[in-house]
């Protein structure tokens, strides 16, 4: 006899539903800061599109909130459990359904790991370009949900720029296809882009067709040490003014170098007050690297020798200099973006502000995109009062980014944690449009409620 | 005394409103085939955002359909007048509001001509990448409305990939901002992408912030003559398999060569049965061109000599080999796309089909994107019966593209003319979602009704 809605679901999908306390805890959150701890009432491991459809039909019938997730590597709490929800994990839907080497596309289930897709694509001389720091464990579905960025976006664009088509299960269980298997296509509204970055609030992505890019036949990497951050940021602008397009352009401040030295026993901070990492790729990689070297040396940088593999090692270090850590209420990694020309001014304002609030600050930036990840932290031992200072600093850092013509989130998404800032960026009319669009897709409000948009 | 709604508008915006019969006729259509002739009741030449807001407030008050347009160069009838409408021309809003050379962005009014933006950007070593055939007269606003493509999309993407932010006047006159001035940004839903390609059915774009790309410091162009189309299409795949990314990759069939010979007195058709035009750009351009030459010569192509400027002349010829002509009910240029690997099969099926229907056919393709522009025509002297044959051939060509995994429109948009095919590509659930999204933006249905989506 069926007693509760969850019993009904468990009976329908006995192999998918877990109510084990360990699972509930483990799947209750992603990697973003948690404002409160909420446990889901169940974790559902979907294995097929039909499973997802069955879950959404059930959720619609019983008005149960559904929080979908991939690896849970998100940094904004977009996959945190909310009151009364079930977690719908897509991890087990991890089959690469096809790679089409001549079409330069791949069709994947949402649970495919970003790095696994790249490994498979590489066998055909292809790559999936978006490479968030979490690429070794984050899923393509999660990347789509947050419109994830990464290091190579400087040249190759963000997730949205690589997504051609989606299959999506709507709130009521209906399966739709959006987009096209071709590089170009303009039939109807761009629902693919609308879904990308919507953080599971408009539907559940169950299949993704992506465009692959050519694996570069040559790659050159430079590491340029500068005396201080303003000079390194001037290097970013100078590379731009030389009109050379790096595939990766990462900027690390002195405190980040100190932190890396602390972890890895390196001597980076001794060698400079700021580090610029530059990678070029493709047929022009060598000439581009040489042009960039000339520009940076002219600005007084100490640039690694051609042929040295130190710069490559530093890029790997940079990739993992943040993503491994879980933020909490004492340490928060931010994710704003400003127009490139404002990088120096913004960081200067940020440093003054952090000092005023007695908050620690270190900064890395996807400088080619003007996308900054300042990390603010306070001593855990200081307790609640320090948290307040941290929050004031965070608020002010976001306000400053907006004052400089920027955005509250460059690539991590709004999730739950950044909701408090969204109305600073978007007008009431835009907030209202988003609510009404969500109502079109999710009239009962069961798809990841309280995330991504201000209700 | 105000008598009619139009009188009221004319009184409010005396310098903007024209009811002169010449204007009504001239602005009644774009460059797409016309299913019926409808005259607007007025043409409104907006000069400011406030003008556009006043028009939409008026239109909302009186429930008057508004068809917005730029240069009217669209090929799908998206700007054709419909019953009872006024035409809102944005041509006079043609100021480049700013170019930010360090941010690599430009902010423009919608009436700015694509080529004019490129001329201005070139002074800073920058370019606006999307280059539809109409680039010398089409407007950025129109390009955004149709998500226009072009030749350089093969490397640089379509309009959507270059649009960062929009200002949009909604149906009720409310002005909103979407997107961000930075390269990256994921706050809220991607309304910028939703607006791009929506053909004036969701709002009136009154300001566009675009990303500019670097003017390539080197450009190489090859022209490769092949015996026949299948061999040239094999060349397209071979370039892809060599994992070399051209900026332009255009494929012309023998009948297109004959047509160009007829107009220009050239001898292209004598030199081959099909022509592949390849351009590479950037620091690697020379090496890329050389790699491509090797591949194509290996396939038996007759490739222009390095340093010859004939290939450049042919690219210019190709740019203007179609766009100048206005289609009608006896000659229609199509715009489908198929996965690249299906180019040969699709064209073979197309030729058999055209022969079966006794319809003339010539084909050019943005081959790098799988985007084909077959032109079908029948003798005008044959009259109505030939039109029926033409329509059957068109229907079948579109059906075939879908059968091959393609789309009904690669870059021209659905407009009015392609509406009859949209339901072949999109499911009832998707069609319904689009209608409901339109209702969110345009509850009275006054924004370009009967275009872009199936109501």
The fold of B219-319 is Alpha-Beta Plaits (3.30.70)
Give the mutation candidate from A177, A186, A246, A368 for the B interface (greatest B CB count, under 10 A).
Answer: A186
Note the pLDDT of residue B2: 61
Nearest to A127 by CA among A213, A54, A57, A52: A213
User: Per-residue confidence at B412, pLDDT binned at 50, 70, 90?
Assistant: very high
Distance CA A92, CA A18 (A): 14
* Residues B232 and B310: beta-carbon distance below 8 Å: no
DSSP-derived 3-state class of residue B454: coil
Residue A282, helix vs strand vs coil:
coil
Nearest to A284 among B190, B282, B371 (CB): B282
User: Domain map of chain B by residue range?
Assistant: 5-89, 96-214, 219-319, 331-424
Judged against a pLDDT cut of 90, whether residue A321 lies above it is answered with no
pLDDT tens sequence across A144-200: 999 999 999 999 999 999 999 999 999 999 999 999 999 999 999 999 999 999 999
pLDDT one-digit tens code per residue, B215-260: 999 999 999 999 999 999 999 999 999 999 999 999 999 999 999 9
Answer whether B99 touches A (CB < 8 Å): no
Terminal C-alpha separation, chain A: 38
Q: Do A414 and B188 lie within an 8 Å CB cutoff?
A: yes
Chain-chain contact of B369 with A183 (C-beta, under 8 angstroms) = yes
- The pLDDT, as a whole number, for residue A194 is 98
CB pair distance less than 8 Å for A101 and B241: yes
Q: How far is A253 from chain B (nearest CA, A)?
A: 21
- In three-state secondary structure terms, B433 is helix
pLDDT, chain A, mean: 95
B1 pLDDT exceeds 80? no
Residues of B in Cβ contact (< 8 Å) with A422: 187-188
Total residues found in chain B within this entry: 455
d(CA B376, CA B422): 20
Q: Rounded to whole angstroms, how far apart are CA atoms B125 and B215? A: 5
pLDDT the model gives residue A324? 44
Locate B76 and state its tokens.
């799908």
B196 band by pLDDT with thresholds 50, 70 and 90: very high
d(CA B396, CA A184): 20
Mean pLDDT of chain B: 95
Residue of A nearest to B216 (CA): A243
Is A403 in the B-facing interface, judged by CB distances under 8 Å? no
Specify the CATH architecture of the domain A331-414: 2-Layer Sandwich (3.30)
Q: Is the pLDDT of residue A327 over 80?
A: no
ipTM above 0.95, yes or no: yes
Provide the CATH topology of domain B5-89.
3.30.43
What residues of chain B lie within 8 A of the CB of A198, using their CB? 189-190
Chain B positions touching A339 (Cβ under 8 A) are 100, 102-103, 105, 181-182
Closest chain B C-alpha to A194 CA, distance in angstroms: 5
Task: Please indicate whether, in this complex, the C-beta atoms of B182 and A370 are within 8 angstroms of each other.
Answer: yes
- Residues in CB range of A325: below 8 A, 6 or more apart: A331, A333
**Contact flag B369-A425 (C-beta cutoff 8 Å):** no
Q: Where are the alpha helices (DSSP H) in B335-418?
A: 343-356, 384-403
Residue A16: phi and psi, rounded to 5, are -100, -25
Residue B387 contacts residue B381 (beta carbons within 8 Å): no
Nearest CB to A181: which of B405, B430, B441?
B405
In the block, residue with structure tokens 């292809």: A126
Distance CA B441, CA B288 (A): 46
The confidence score (pLDDT) of residue B6 equals: 97
The two tokens of residue A9 are 């679901």
For residue A279, what pLDDT band results from cuts at 50, 70 and 90? very high
Q: Provide the 8-state DSSP code for A120.
A: H
Choose the closest CB to B178 out of A170, A430, A453: A430
| Residue B192 to residue A269: CA distance in whole angstroms | 42
C-alpha B165/C-alpha A339 separation (Å) is 13
Q: Burial, A435: exposed, middle or buried (Cβ in 10 Å; 0-12, 13-18, 19+)?
A: middle
Q: Same topology for domains B219-319 and B331-424, yes or no?
A: yes
β-sheet bridge partners, residue A225: A275, A302
Provide mean pLDDT across the span A321-326: 55
Residue A410 has its nearest CB partner, among B161, B182, B241, at B182
**CB-CB under 8 Å, B188 with A190:** no
Query: A241 near A203, Cβ under 8 Å?
Result: no
Question: Which candidate, A411, A426, A441, places its Cα nearest to that of A145?
Answer: A411
What's the confidence (pLDDT) of residue A318?
A: 87
Q: Is B160 on the interface with A (CB under 8 A)?
A: yes
pLDDT tier at B3, thresholds 50, 70, 90: confident
Cα separation, B285 vs B248, in Å, equals: 12
Stretch B150-172: mean pLDDT, rounded? 97
Q: Which of these ranges, A84-93, A120-129, B267-276, B328-337, has the smallest mean pLDDT?
A: B328-337
Residue B273 confidence (pLDDT): 97
Decide: B118 and B127 in contact? Cβ < 8 Å. Answer: yes
A428 burial via Cβ count (<10 Å: 0-12, 13-18, 19+): exposed
Q: Are B372 and B345 in contact (CB under 8 A)?
A: no
Distance, CA of B93 to CA of A165 (rounded, Å): 35
Indicate the pLDDT class of residue B23, thresholds 50, 70 and 90: very high
Q: Please, are residues A182 and B369 in contact by the beta-carbon 8 Å criterion? A: yes
Q: How far apart are CA B210 and CA B162, in angstroms?
A: 5
Domain B96-214 has CATH 3.40.50.300: no
d(CA B274, CA A252): 52
For residue A89, pLDDT over 80 is answered with yes
Chain centroid to CA B28: 19
What pLDDT, in 10s, does the model give residues B58-72?
999 999 999 999 999
- Per-residue pLDDT, B321: 65
B384 and chain A in contact, CB less than 8 A: no
pLDDT band with cut points at 50, 70 and 90 for residue A35: confident
Q: In what order do the strands lie in the sheet with B66-69?
A: B17-18, B42-45, B86-89, B66-69
* CA distances in angstroms from B83 to A440, B67, B214, B327, listed in the order given: 29, 10, 45, 22
Residue B443 is predicted with a pLDDT of 98
Asked if A193's CB is within 8 angstroms of B193's CB, the reply is yes
| Nearest chain B residue (CA) to A233 | B102
Chain A, residues 174-193, CB within 8 A of chain B, namely: 174, 176-178, 180-191, 193
**Contact pairs from chain A to chain B, CB under 8 Å:** 283
Q: Tell if the CB–CB gap between B341 and A125 is shorter than 8 Å.
A: no
Q: Please indicate whether, in this complex, the C-beta atoms of B437 and A440 are within 8 angstroms of each other.
A: yes
| pLDDT band at residue B110 under the 50/70/90 scheme | very high
Asked if the model's pLDDT at residue B326 lies above 80, the reply is no
The per-residue DSSP string of B106-153 comes to EEE-TT-BHHHHHHHHHTTTEE-----TTTTT-BHHHHHHHT---STH
Mean predicted confidence (pLDDT) in A400-419: 97
Question: Do A125 and B243 touch, CB atoms closer than 8 A?
Answer: yes
Please report residues of A whose CB lies closer than 8 A to that of B411.
184, 186
Q: What is the largest CA-CA distance in chain B?
A: 78
CA distance to A66, A84, A88, per residue, from A10 (Å): 15, 16, 13
Candidates A188, A219, A441: best to mutate against B (most CBs of B within 10 A) is: A188
Chain B residues touching A405 at Cβ < 8 A: 181-182
Q: What confidence category does residue A54 fall into, taking pLDDT thresholds of 50, 70 and 90?
A: very high
What pLDDT was estimated at residue B223? 98
Per-window interface: A 29-88 vs B, CB < 8 A: none
pLDDT attached to residue A179 = 98
Query: What are the tens digits of pLDDT across the range A188-238?
Result: 999 999 999 999 999 999 999 999 999 999 999 999 999 999 999 999 999
Backbone phi, psi, residue B372, to 5°: -105, 140
Mean of pLDDT values over A103-114: 98
The dihedral through the CA atoms of B426, B427, B430, B432 has a sign that is positive
The residue of chain B nearest to residue A425, with distances taken between CA atoms, is B187
Work out whether the CA dihedral B224, B225, B226, B230 comes out positive or negative.
positive
Residue A263: per-residue pLDDT: 87
User: What topology does CATH give the domain B331-424?
Assistant: Alpha-Beta Plaits (3.30.70)
Q: Which two tokens stand for residue B286?
A: 């020379």
Place of tokens 């690469």: A96
On whether any CB of chain B is under 8 Å from the CB of A211, the answer is no
Residue A160 at interface with chain B, using a CB cutoff of 8 Å: yes
Per cent of chain A over pLDDT 70 is 98
């Amino acid at each position: 006899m069926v007693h509760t809605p969850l019993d009904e679901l468990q009976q329908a999908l006995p192999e998918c539903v877990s109510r084990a306390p360990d699972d509930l805890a483990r799947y209750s959150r992603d990697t973003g800061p948690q404002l409160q701890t909420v446990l889901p009432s169940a974790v559902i491991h979907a294995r097929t599109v039909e499973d997802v459809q069955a879950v959404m039909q059930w959720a619609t019938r019983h008005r149960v909130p559904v929080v979908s997730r991939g690896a849970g590597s998100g940094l904004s709490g977009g996959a945190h459990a909310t009151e009364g929800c079930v977690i719908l994990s897509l991890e087990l839907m991890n089959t690469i359904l096809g790679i089409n080497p001549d079409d330069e596309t791949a069709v994947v289930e949402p649970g495919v790991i970003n790095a696994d897709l790249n490994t498979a694509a590489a066998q055909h001389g292809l790559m999936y370009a978006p490479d968030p720091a979490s690429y070794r464990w984050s899923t393509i579905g999660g990347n789509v949900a947050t419109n994830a960025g990464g290091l190579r976006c400087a040249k190759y664009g963000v997730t949205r720029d690589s997504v051609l088509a989606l299959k999506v299960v709507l709130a009521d269980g209906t399966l739709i296809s959006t987009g096209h298997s071709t590089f170009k296509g303009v039939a109807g509204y761009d629902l693919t882009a609308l879904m990308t970055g919507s953080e599971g609030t408009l539907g559940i992505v169950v299949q993704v067709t992506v465009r692959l890019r050519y694996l570069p036949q040559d790659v050159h990497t430079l590491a340029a040490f500068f005396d201080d951050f303003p000079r390194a940021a001037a290097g970013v602008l100078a590379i731009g003014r030389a009109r050379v397009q790096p595939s990766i352009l990462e900027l690390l401040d002195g405190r980040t170098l100190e932190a890396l030295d602390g972890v890895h026993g390196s001597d980076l901070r001794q060698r400079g007050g700021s580090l610029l990492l530059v990678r070029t790729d493709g047929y022009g990689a060598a000439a581009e690297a040489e042009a960039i070297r000339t520009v940076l040396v002219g600005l007084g940088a100490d640039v690694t020798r051609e042929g040295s593999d130190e710069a490559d090692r530093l890029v790997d270090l940079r990739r993992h200099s943040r993503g491994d850590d879980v933020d909490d209420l004492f340490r928060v990694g931010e994710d704003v973006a400003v127009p490139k020309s404002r990088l120096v001014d913004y960081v200067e304002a940020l440093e003054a502000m952090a000092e005023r609030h007695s908050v620690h600050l270190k900064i890395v930036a996807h400088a080619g995109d003007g996308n900054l990840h300042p990390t603010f932290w306070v001593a855990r031992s200081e307790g609640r009062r320090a948290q307040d200072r941290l929050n004031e600093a965070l608020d002010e850092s976001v306000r400053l980014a907006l004052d400089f013509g920027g955005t509250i989130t460059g690539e991590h998404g709004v999730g739950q944690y950044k909701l408090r800032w969204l109305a600073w960026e978007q007008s009431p009319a835009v907030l209202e449009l988003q609510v009404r669009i969500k109502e079109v897709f999710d009239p009962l409000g069961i798809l990841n409620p309280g995330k991504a948009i201000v209700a």
